[in-house]
């Protein structure tokens, strides 16, 4: 705790990153407020209040994440990974059912999504692994076996929930970290060849998708096929975003949103709510905030004292990035609707708190880039 008051640490606290994140959270909470706004009621929306409460918890979590030297995490990486895995295993046994899938664990007054915590644990564990395996000539294929074995169990468990989107994000995050760690040219070649050889297996894969997932794929390719069924989400979302026009319909005046045409408006489709009300101008501002957050984060990665920190920060950023891209892609009709929330923006406690904790780690990495090497490299 002594380190917390080190003036150098305070000096290197990345306020820009923190403010960018809080800016996005602020806009998000406002949108959650609008999405759950009930003009007939004078009470402020419960969702917005809860989101603000979760954001406060998140700030606490983020600050908790900078109180210790991030390198300590290396030591507890597998403990965290094992704990996360246990929680994930608990989900199908005692989890609660929503919308046909089991993704939540109930803890009295609130429920958590173990997959969110697992994501952080996987990032830490992969960072630790690659930290040790990075070599000048690049990663060999056999260096990728362990990451694959680490990634597969949570992905399989999450696929079983079923939550195709989150499982995909896991893979994207792991792949991003692999790319940063740097496979050798030969490894890339083998992966590419293996990927190509997988193509004939595609029909088999498709036949094992759940009917609703297949339907989402089909309607992604042609939403008009089923305008009131599976294609409804995409069409309504595009109507919401498109009708926002250049300057938007104004806060709380999004008709698509207020009249409940938008599905899952405070979670997956919160961006549609935002874009309808704030228009192109607002959407560009929001995307710029994300871009700035990313670029600032990458600078942190580049300045990190050692590989573990760089990999850790990069993994956290990759998670934010892929979630954002997939969510924005699906709400604008570029990608199939896979149920991914917009990071820092969508309503959801577990997600927000873990994301903020993750960003706390990035800030931690930045703060401690000048710290003496007190923790031995073991």
Partner 1 sequence: MQLNSPQGPNELRRRLLLSGLGVAGLFAGIGLRLYKLQVGEGETWRSLSENNRIRLQRLTATRGLIYDRNGEPLVDNRPSFDVVIVPEDTKDLAATILRVAEFLGADQFNVKTLLAAARARPPYEGLIIKRDVDYSAVVTLETHQLELPGVSLDVGPLRTYPYGPVGAHLFGYVGEVSESELDKHQGYRMGDLIGKFGAEKSWEARLRGVPGGQQIEVDALGRKLRVLSRVPQTQGNNMILTVDRRLQSFTEQLMAEHDGAVVVLRPDNGEILTLVSKPTFDPNVFARGIKRDEWRDLTNNKTRPLNNRAIQGQYPPGSTFKIVTAAAALEEGAVTPFTSIFCGGGYHFANRTYRCWKKGGHGTVDLHRALVESCDVYFYQVGQRLGVDTIADYAQRLGMGAATGIALDHEKPGLIPTSAWKRARYGEPWFSGETLSVAIGQGYVLATPLQMANVIATVANGGTRYRPHFVRRIENASGELVEEIQPEALGNAGLRKSTLLQIREALRDVVNASNGTGKKAKLPTIEVGGKTGTSQVFKMGKQIKTHNLARHLRDHAWFVAFAPVDAPEIAISVLIEHAGGGGGAMAAPIAHDIADFYFALTRGRSYQLSTGTGGNEA
Site string for partner 1, 4-43 (x = CB under 8 A): ----------------------------------------
Q: How far is the CB of 97 from partner 1 (least distance, A)?
A: 21
Task: Give yes or no for residue 298 binding partner 1 (CB under 8 A).
Answer: yes
Q: What angle do CA 19, 23, 28 make, to 5 degrees?
A: 150
Site string for partner 1, 112-151 (x = CB under 8 A): ----------------------xxx-x-------------
8 Å CB contact between 237 and 254:
no
8 Å CB contact between 127 and 150:
no
Residue closer to partner 1 (CB basis): 85 or 139: 139
* Contacts with 282 (C-beta within 8 Å, 6 or more apart), sequence order: 244, 248, 274, 275
Q: Terminal CA-to-CA distance of the chain, rounded, Å?
A: 23
Residue closer to partner 1 (CB basis): 54 or 261: 261
Q: How far is the CB of 166 from partner 1 (least distance, A)?
A: 19
8 Å CB contact between 330 and 337:
yes
Site string for partner 1, 170-189 (x = CB under 8 A): ------x--xx-x-------
Residue closer to partner 1 (CB basis): 36 or 176: 176
For residue 253, give the nearest of 232, 277, 229 by alpha carbon: 277
SS3 14: coil
What is the C-alpha to C-alpha distance for residues 236 and 37, in angstroms, rounded to an integer?
18
What is the C-alpha to C-alpha distance for residues 172 and 162, in angstroms, rounded to an integer?
18
Which ranges of 182-269 does DSSP label H, i.e. alpha helix?
A: 185-198, 202-207, 211-221, 232-244, 255-258
Task: Give yes or no for residue 252 binding partner 1 (CB under 8 A).
Answer: no
Phi, psi of 31 (to 5 degrees): -70, -35
Which residue stretch of 22-30, 82-90, 216-224, 256-264 sits at the interface with partner 1 (rule: CB under 8 A)? 256-264
The correct pick among 213, 280, 371, 375 for binding partner 1 (CB under 8 A) is 280
Query: Residues 310 to 369: which contact partner 1 by CB under 8 A?
Result: 310, 314, 321, 325, 328-329, 332-334, 369
Q: Which residues bind to partner 1, rule: CB under 8 A?
A: 134-136, 138, 176, 179-180, 182, 228, 236, 238-246, 255-256, 259-261, 275-276, 279-280, 283-284, 287, 290-291, 294-295, 298, 301-307, 309-310, 314, 321, 325, 328-329, 332-334, 369
């Amino acid at each position: 705790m002594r380190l917390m008051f080190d003036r150098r640490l305070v000096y290197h606290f990345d306020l820009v990153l923190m403010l960018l994140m809080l800016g996005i959270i602020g806009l998000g909470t406002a949108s959650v407020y609008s999405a759950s706004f009930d003009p007939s009621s004078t009470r402020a929306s419960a969702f917005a209040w809860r989101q603000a409460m979760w954001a406060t918890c998140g700030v606490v979590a983020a600050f908790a994440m900078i109180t210790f030297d991030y390198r300590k995490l290396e030591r507890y990486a597998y403990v965290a990974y094992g704990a996360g895995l246990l929680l994930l295993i608990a989900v199908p046994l005692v989890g609660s059912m929503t919308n046909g899938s089991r993704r939540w664990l109930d803890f009295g007054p609130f429920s958590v999504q173990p997959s969110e915590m697992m994501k952080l644990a996987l990032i830490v564990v992969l960072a630790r692994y690659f930290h040790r395996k990075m070599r000048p000539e690049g990663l060999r294929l056999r260096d990728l076996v362990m990451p694959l074995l680490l990634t597969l169990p949570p992905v399989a468990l999450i696929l079983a929930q079923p939550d195709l989107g989150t499982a995909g994000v896991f893979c994207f995050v792991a792949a991003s970290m692999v790319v940063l760690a740097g496979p050798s040219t030969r490894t890339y070649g083998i992966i590419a060849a293996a990927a190509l050889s997988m193509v004939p297996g595609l029909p088999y894969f498709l036949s094992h998708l759940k009917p609703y997932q297949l339907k989402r794929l089909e309607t992604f390719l042609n939403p008009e096929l089923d305008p009131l069924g599976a294609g409804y989400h995409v069409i309504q979302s595009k109507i919401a975003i498109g009708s926002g026009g250049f300057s938007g319909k104004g806060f709380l005046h999004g008709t698509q949103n207020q009249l409940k045409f938008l599905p899952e408006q405070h979670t997956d489709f919160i961006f549609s709510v935002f874009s309808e009300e704030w228009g192109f101008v607002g959407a560009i501002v929001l995307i710029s905030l994300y871009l700035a957050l990313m670029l600032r984060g990458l600078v942190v990665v580049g300045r990190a004292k050692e590989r573990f920190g760089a990999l850790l920060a990069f993994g956290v950023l990759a998670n934010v990035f892929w979630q954002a891209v997939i969510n924005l892609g699906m709400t604008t009709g570029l990608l199939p609707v896979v149920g991914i929330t917009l990071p820092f923006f969508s309503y959801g406690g577990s997600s927000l708190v873990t994301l903020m904790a993750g960003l706390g780690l990035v800030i931690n990495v930045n703060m401690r880039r000048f710290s003496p090497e007190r923790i031995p490299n073991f």
